[in-house]
Amino acid sequence: MAPHAEEKTGSGGGISSSPVSDLLFKNTSPNVVYTDDEIRSRYTYRTTSVTKQPSGQYQVTPKAQLYDFKVGRKVPKVGMMLVGWGGNNGTTVTAGIMANRRNTTWETREGPRAANYYGSVVMGSTMKLGTDPETNKDVNIPLNQVLPIVHPNDLVVGGWDISGMNMADAMDRAAVLEPTLKAQLKKEMSYMVPLPSIYYPDFIAANQEDRADNVLEGSKACMAHVDKIRNDIRDFKAKNGLDKVIVQWTANTERYADLIQGVNDTADNLLKAIETGHEEVSPSTVFAVACILEQVPFINGSPQNTFVPGAIELAERHDAFIGGDDFKSGQTKMKSALVDFMINAGIKLTSIASYNHLGNNDGKNLNSHRQFRSKEISKSNVVDDMVEANHVLYPEKGEKPDHCVVIKYMPAVGDNKRALDEYYAEIFMGGHQTISLFNVCEDSLLASPLIIDLVLIAELMTRVQWRSCSDDGAATTEYKGFHSVLSILSYMLKAPLTPPGTPVVNALAKQRASLTNIFRAFVGLEPESDMSLEHKLI
């Protein structure tokens, strides 16, 4: 590749660019090139292929594949449209962005507080860049400084809701934020009113009916709803002078849609089912289809099966990004970390009992059995890949810990969800270990930073292209984008969606390592192994 090029400052059309002098670091490798428009890197991806022989022995073959990556440097003006904008999560993330944009401070009974992005992996965490040779200490930088990423303060927020309540009143209804903070944001948020949404009563709990005063005509899927959503996205984009829009489902949990051959099993069948108003096409799937056809990334933050096989096929057909399912904010994030620790420590986990009670509208909706079943599935499957990875502890096919999930609606606790977990495990010589956790989660304050992360990373991926190369460096494919299913978002999601036929990873440490190492590859850096051999080979 050519030597490094010096960057020039430039902007226009609502897009700001980052000159080389503004980058926090610069890779001096000849395999990395900086231009006005992009960062280009040549990266060797190393893996190990393992084949089991008839004798039972494994044949191990190291493999290496050379890739070229391109990352667009010009950060666009981005809109974030939320389905369920007037709910707890939608109002909280909107108020949070507004407060950060204004550098708002407010008084509480515990003293003054200031706006921040704590809980956001992009905005609140760091990544090891390397080691300082003089001090032998790690050099860590903010994750949002590794690549050109949209700042959440610059997001333009809008969306849909079945309730027509303005965002200031909806924020009061949610009862998440301090009154002294809400008072400073109320005037501006009172002018924000959600667009009418689609409402199919069969898919959400009957106790949500009293909210549904801002809905489009029709109670079943139809192409008119798809077209209206597409027009809403276009209008929002044009009105706000946006370069891109990311749509995210933050609305109520739906019941699972039945998977029916000839209805939602293929892209063509799904489109036909929408045209004919089939009763097993959910509102979230209609939103997904509209976004796919509009080539706008769509992320599902609830546990229902929005991405039926036909929706995934449609996304692949249109090279549209999708991601899901269900925000992984509190209890499940702890579970995916703790189970990973226990099984990797050689401790045989035999049962997990998870109990939750919460009093927000999510809890009210989940009081209905069919909606709870969607949540139960996303919470229960979070340990599967970790169990399957250890056939020493779990030698029988299909063997896994007993796993029970209970959720109860308790209005008095509001958004302060209580999560109680008991992990029961078998240890050395027939002994047992029990770990009990009591986790009080301010539910929407944990979920809102994840909504931001999902939007920022999804947008970044729209600016990434790759091609494969032969060992001599010659390109063997044309540049193209990543797969439509954005599995890089897995760290933020309970039931991460992966491309068909690929494994699901729920282990939190693996998900985080995958995210940071992919970022490193985009700027020509090797994965950080933490071997620290330079300190051990003495």
Distance CA 389, CA 343 (A): 9
Catalytic residues: 326, 375, 417, 494
Give the CA angle between residues 38, 39, 44 to the nearest 5°. 140
Distance CA 486, CA 187 (A): 37
Asked if 242 contacts 459 with a C-beta cutoff of 8 angstroms, the reply is: no
CA 295 to the chain's CA centroid: 18
Tell me, letter by letter, the H, E, C secondary structure of 439-464: EEEEHHHHHHHHHHHHHHHHHHHCCE
Strands 138-142 and 126-131: antiparallel
What does the radius of gyration of the chain's CA atoms come to, in whole angstroms? 24
Closest-CA residue to 377 (of 204, 494, 503): 494
Give the CA angle between residues 242, 240, 115 to the nearest 5°. 90
Q: Hey, how many other C-beta atoms are within 10 angstroms of the C-beta on 531?
A: 8
Distance CA 144, CA 236 (A): 27
